[in-house]
Amino acid sequence: MNERSEENGRGANRAKTAVGVWGVLGVLLAGLAVAGLWAAIQGGREAWRRANCAVKLQAIAVAMQAYCYENGVLPPAYTVDEAGRPLHSWRVLILPHLESSPLYREIRLDEPWDSEWNSRFHSLPVSPFACPSRVAALPNGAPVAETTYSVVVGDETAFPGAGNWRKREDFTDGLSETLAVVERKMPVCWMDPTQELTLETLAAEVGSEHSAGFYAAFFDGSVRFLPSTTDAATLNAWATVAGDEEVGEFE
């Protein structure tokens, strides 16, 4: 083989190598582009889920106010029978104000939430009480009827013991300074009247599928994103109706 042929051969090999390198780089860049696009799509989806969660919590706070205007008092944490046994959660009581009147009419309010008749509704996905981010995080086949939206019960809160209802004038802190409903880590059946948060458990049990914090709705209808680092004293202060506290500036 003469020198020209050898040079042509080396040139062809270099060309093949260059094509191979650029081909690999092209695949890598395409992969990165797809990964970036997917991340952007996922980020956009989560942003929508967060926004939708905030809207749902706001709707719940407004529904509580609508209940108050209609009945003169806020809904209790739960209703009770003549023996003082829990019947139904506040979630059931505000269904008519969340465009869920047909479901409300199906539930037998004079029977316990877990009676044979009412138990049929336990597994029913009820959209107003479902955080979209939590639903998206569930594995296939997991129950979606559980809720992570809770009130805080206690003598000093907006939801005192059974038989006690709050009126608007009880909120000397102001409606904008008192927690109405908050996200919790552990889900519960949406109809269960016995699993609300308390001042003692509040700080340990608040949380969400959102990154770095959780949403809380206040009685004026505002919704704030509270950081995961929010301390127990601050949360407990916001959960009371007459402690003269002010809510900080959050998202």
Q: How wide is the angle at C-alpha 180 spanned by C-alphas 174 and 183, nearest 5°?
A: 140
Confirm if 149 and 208 have CB atoms less than 8 A apart.
no
pLDDT > 70: what percent of the chain? Answer: 77
Instruction: From residue 61, give the alpha-carbon distance in Å to each of 146, 156, 176, 181, 245.
Output: 19, 19, 11, 7, 20
pLDDT at 149: 96
What pLDDT digit, counting tens, does each position of 97-121 carry? 998 899 999 999 999 999 999 999 9
Distance CA 201, CA 85 (A): 22
Per-residue confidence band for 68, with pLDDT thresholds at 50, 70 and 90: very high
DSSP strand E in the chain: where?
Answer: 78-80, 86-89, 146-150, 152-153, 179-189, 197-198, 213-218, 223-227
DSSP structure string for 92-137: HHTGGGGT-HHHHHHS-TTS-TTSTTGGGGTTS--GGG--HHHHHH
Structure tokens at 36: 């970036």
For residues 34-44, average pLDDT = 44
> Would you call 209 exposed, middle or buried from its count of C-beta atoms within 10 A (0-12, 13-18, 19+)?
buried
Top-confidence residue, 32 or 208:
208
Q: How many helices (H) and strands (E) does the chain have?
A: 6, 8
Selection from 32-41, 72-81, 132-141 with the highest mean pLDDT: 72-81
- At residue 29 the predicted structure's pLDDT band, cuts being 50, 70 and 90, is very low
Q: List the beta bridge partners of residue 68.
A: none
- Strand bridging mode 152-153 / 86-89: unpaired
Distance between the two ends of the chain, CA-based, in angstroms? 76
Lowest mean pLDDT among 113-122, 144-153, 169-178, 240-249: 240-249
SS3 155: coil
What pLDDT digit, counting tens, does each position of 171-183 carry?
A: 888 888 899 999 9
Query: Per-residue confidence at 134, pLDDT binned at 50, 70, 90?
Result: confident
Both tokens assigned to 17: 């190598």
113, 87 contact by CB (below 8 A): yes
**Average pLDDT of the residues of the chain:** 81
Between 70 and 26, the more confident residue is 70
